[in-house]
Structure 1
Amino acid sequence: MDDHRFPCDRCGSDMRFDPAGGKLLCDYCGNETLLENAVAPPLAEMDYETALRAALPSSQIEEIGVSPCPNCGALIEFAADSHATTCPFCATPVVAGTGAHRQIKPRGVLPFALSEREAHGAMTDWLGSLWFAPNGLSRYARKGRRLSGVYVPFWTFDAQTRSSYEGERGTVHVEHRTVMRDGRPERVPVQKVRWRRVRGRVARAFDDVLVLASRSIPRAHADALAPWDLTQLVPYTPGYLAGFDAEGYQVDLEEGFAAAREVMDRAIARDVRFDIGGDRQRVHAIRTEVSAVTFKHVLLPVWMAAYRYRGASYRFVVNAQTGRVQGERPYSAIKIALAVLLALVLAGGAAYVYQMQ
């Protein structure tokens, strides 16, 4: 990727992208510079089959300098004159190496909308809502520890699908059966399902199926940060990365599409059940034809904090567009023990009141 440093044309200091103003800002002299893509048209899609054949134009391919984090394996991008940094995903020191990563250029970027202070407030509120988190961790997080702003790589996929299916539609009806109760016959209603074989077709157009292209963030964490408003994507320009870290993708295009197919197949299965109708459905087979597959490589903004607390590492991630927080959390044995004790006391009190009555 291009160098993320942008010297101020007044004083020469490095400028940074300011989420509040949506422009480049020099903290030293206050100089501001507007970015070209403040208002931009929808992003153009790229053809999936062309990319698999490695036939994309050279203008869509780039080579970036990266070094893998020795702890979590994240591909950390380095500017040309940078020699060391701290991994934003796990707080491990990383030294620039001689490695290079050839990749498809980002098509779009979702600019940071939350400042570090706003993200820190969201994270602190989230920690405060965790009943069984140790008090020490919350106090540690509130000490103003810096967060790292990171652009995380994602793929988006569009596709047209046509699916044929075979299954059964179940209709529930009630029959009455005679059973013996207390030595006497009694008629009781019993639900039965009448099944009828069916087949049919469904079609669906998928737009911007989002797939994480990083292995540095647990997929569950990334999924929990959704939703993202991808209508706010703008054409990629290095200015949005000024002052932030960026990660090269580790999940390649073909693997990314396989993950997208899992999302599509679940949606198609829901469509099939809806099409079958009735009260119950059985799906025996679904055959799907996929066509017109296109994709984009995009960068989405995340504020990250990596803490070491009592010898263990904990990560917190904040959606830098919405403020949604997800993270790893320790549990306080003392708080859990007190909660169990309180539950036992309440249960004992309720039992005593019941016996007295």
Structure 2
Amino acid sequence: MPITYKCPNCGAAMEFDSTAQKLKCPSCQMEMDVQDYEKQYGHLYSDAEAGENAQSAQSEGQKGKGSMNMKVYHCQSCGAELLADEYTSATICSFCGNPSLVEDRLSGEFSPSSVIPFQIDREAAKKMYKSWVKKGLLTPKTLSTESTIEKISGVYVPFWLYDFDAETEMTAKAEKIRTERHGDTEYTYTDHFHVYRDVEAQFEKVPADASEKMDDDTMDKLEPFDYTALKPFAMPYLSGYLSERYNFTDEQMQSRVRKRVDRYITEIARSTMLGYSTVSVLDNHISMNNKHNEYALLPVWMLNCRYHGKDFNFVLNGQTGKIVADRPISKGKAAAYFVGIFVIMMIVLTLGGLAL
């Protein structure tokens, strides 16, 4: 059943305000702490809890690749039908704009243990986009004036956060090369070393996005999130935003995270082998133990912008403001840039030849 958090004062649908970090009514401006709202009012619905507001609907015909189960719900504010796929846990009515949460996608095994609430609101995200389009060495001058925001969505992306203990026993051969001059003769000495390292490390909350729709590389680049802002999960944080439950379980995502931990512990061990001219790793025996997994929802702004008939994605960390985005390239600026580099190189080579 979809849930709408109703204002105790005027009955309008309340949304989570990222600036106030509270539920806020857009109608009467009443604000209320998330925990206080749940304690005092629970879920206030616009309509009586009836069985008719959740009916199954599946695509006709044989289910093929890329198809999914859909459900039809009814908006608790205007009664319009809300069509949601099997992974949607929070949506917004396209008719009245009121937020709705799908409770069965946020309960039981799908209940997150924690959430980082949005710190950046919609207007701030738009301002960051407008500032970003004005930057870039090869960015077209007209991008800031001719690009349009086709769609902007605040999405709580499902992540698994992993705690690992890891250890590596690394062996390597290393060399120190030194040169000494005695009179007119220069001597080169090479000292050979057998290097051994036994390194232990603890990794906490290594993230992996568990959404099939989100690009893994983009989500990785949005890191880091500040985990000191993690709060125990409560559904009102999602009001006014989109959200999905995970597509992949913690077991299914673990192999990807193990590769990251493997890379981290290797980099740590390798970074201790200092003071050598060369280092060649001979063996790197790694063992790790997965101590704890946590299901969390993390905030991401997704903007789709259009420029000269082409779509470009702008993705923003909804907590820190870090940007990962496609940027159109001006062919004229690119050509001028590379011609300039070529001319500078030719001048340097010419001056070098004259000096000789």
TM-score by length of 2: 0.71
Secondary structure of the 1:249 match is coil
What displacement does 1:246 show? 0.8
Identity %: 25
1:155 to 156, 160, 167: 160
1:224 to 221, 224, 230: 221
The yes-or-no answer on 1:168 pairing with 2:172 is yes
The yes-or-no answer on 1:139 pairing with 2:138 is no
Tell me which amino acid in the other structure corresponds to 2:166: T
For each residue in 1:158-185, what CA deviation from the matched residue of structure 2 results, as whole angstroms up to 9, or x when unmatched? 12233334x234240436699xxxxxx9
1:116 to 105, 112, 122: 122
Tell me which amino acid in the other structure corresponds to 1:289: S
The yes-or-no answer on 1:105 pairing with 2:111 is yes
Aligned residues: 306
What displacement does 1:84 show? 4.6
Gaps of 5+ in 1: 39-64, 89-93, 95-99, 179-184
Q: Which residue of 1 aligns with 2:307?
A: 309
Taking the aligned partners of 1:344 and 1:200, their CA distance within structure 2 comes to: 46
For each residue in 1:25-65, what CA deviation from the matched residue of structure 2 results, as whole angstroms up to 9, or x when unmatched? 11122222211189xxxxxxxxxxxxxxxxxxxxxxxxxx9
- For structure 1, which segment, 14-23 or 268-277, has the greater mean C-alpha deviation from structure 2 after superposition? 268-277
Taking the aligned partners of 1:151 and 1:74, their CA distance within structure 2 comes to: 23
What displacement does 1:199 show? 4.6
Distance 1:117 1:146, change over 3 A: farther
Q: Which residue of 2 aligns with 1:291?
A: 289
Contact 2:150 2:306 in 1 (8 A): no
Q: Which has the higher contact order (CA 8 A, sep 6+)?
A: 1
Tell me which amino acid in the other structure corresponds to 2:193: W
What displacement does 1:77 show? 9.8
Contact 1:158 1:205 in 2 (8 A): yes
What displacement does 1:249 show? 2.2
For each residue in 1:188-240, what CA deviation from the matched residue of structure 2 results, as whole angstroms up to 9, or x when unmatched? 343634132x5553222211112222343333322222221111100111100
Contact 2:153 2:301 in 1 (8 A): yes
Q: Which residue of 2 aligns with 1:248?
A: 245
Tell me which amino acid in the other structure corresponds to 1:326: V
Taking the aligned partners of 2:192 and 2:242, their CA distance within structure 1 comes to: 59
Taking the aligned partners of 2:325 and 2:164, their CA distance within structure 1 comes to: 32
Gaps of 5+ in 2: 38-55, 60-65, 75-80, 89-93, 95-103
Q: Which residue of 2 aligns with 1:130?
A: 136
Distance 1:205 1:13, change over 3 A: same
Taking the aligned partners of 1:78 and 1:163, their CA distance within structure 2 comes to: 49
TM-score by length of 1: 0.71
Secondary structure of the 1:307 match is strand
